Chains A and B, each alone.
Chain A
């Protein structure tokens, strides 16, 4: 059964299950609170406000002033209390969610290589620096990063506060660069900003792929889009580009227009398609 058949039959099975009817009990147990009622209540408050003694009004104003003053003073502290999502692409692609203390709250594999990379690692609850060390160490062990060779890591950081985002970006840059120099790795750290507008496009693209194992982060897709802008002859071959590691993609982006490398990739894609067709006929 393929993916579409599973969804089709699952939908049929769902349709066969009766949905409980709770509408009457909901109506009995709750009253519909209309906005106009709320507004009337608010209007009443406004009308009553005129009857407040001046001393009470002054007291309220002082309280509001003090509250606002404290809010502004404490705002940076509150604002930093939010979570950060990182995506890391080497060839493994994974996402890490950090809590407000920059400790790993959640880690998710985006592709098969990331499952291999994360296999046996326990990084939940540890700080970002240690987590990066562990991930990079394992990436070398699994052969995703090569010592004494060219490497590239693509990172994107998402946080509502740009100060927090930039701080984390700087921290990652320093940490990864230090790691590379300590391990004689010729590596490049690339940053891409998360682009919300690409979400739908990326989803549609991934659904078109023949291979359901091919997934990439928003950042990697943005990077691939840069390549497609530079080499429009590669448009339509996103599935192949998605499987390339970041070092291959960064080499490609830096190629000259009409270079042999781009033509080689197209040739390789055509060869793969032919091989698949040949294999299919042989079965």
Chain B
């Protein structure tokens, strides 16, 4: 049975703008947070999110019907973010999160509650961040393994290592 997303993708292939709106609504969360986990910058993540959907619209003909549309779109986002990450790697400063610019549009009260996200960005490396984020967004480890092209065992290992790091930090704060 086709999912709503797959049906919308097929309609998009026929040029239906409304179908694109549906695809956007169904995937925007995964796309944005996948990019944010890699790039750690709200503004750049926004630009790359835009690029992801522009690329999707241009390449919609390449989407094979009845294949995992979500994985296909998130893969575009992942590739764009990883390219940008490598490009900016040298420019990124390690303490960038101290400026809290990631949360620039979030009010002070909710900022106080973002303890785990801060940890995710502060103490995890890019690989760990992406795996934890994707799993938090509901992807299974074997789906992540395909997405980032790493063996399942490695993904599970990195994931557990990352969670342990976060648990340790939480214990410190408690």
Residues of A whose CB lies within 8 Å of any CB of B are 1-3, 6-7, 9-14, 16-20, 22-23, 25-27, 29-38, 85, 87, 93, 95, 108-111, 199-200, 202-203, 206-207, 212-213, 215-218
Contact = CB atoms under 8 A, between A and B. Distances in A.
A93 B153 CA distance: 9
B78 interface: no
A93 B29 CA distance: 35
A108 B116 contact: no
Contacts of A14: 29, 33, 117, 133, 136-137
B14 A108 contact: no
B92 interface: no
Contact of A217 (B57, B115, B151, B167): B151
Nearest to B11: A34
Interface string B145-172: 1000011111011101001101100110
Given A6-B166, A6-B167, A20 B156 contact: no
B15 A13 contact: no
8 closest Cβ pairs, A-B complex: A34-B15, A110-B153, A108-B154, A20-B46, A199-B142, A22-B50, A26-B53, A30-B54
B50 A13 contact: no
Given A29-B50, A32-B17, A1 B153 contact: no
Given A3-B163, A33-B60, A95-B151, A203 B54 contact: no
B114 to A, nearest CB: 5
A23 B156 contact: no
A217 B151 CA distance: 8
Interface stretch (B66-74, B83-91, B93-101, B102-110): B102-110
Nearest to A11: B136
B61 A10 contact: no
A108 B170 contact: no
A6 B152 contact: no
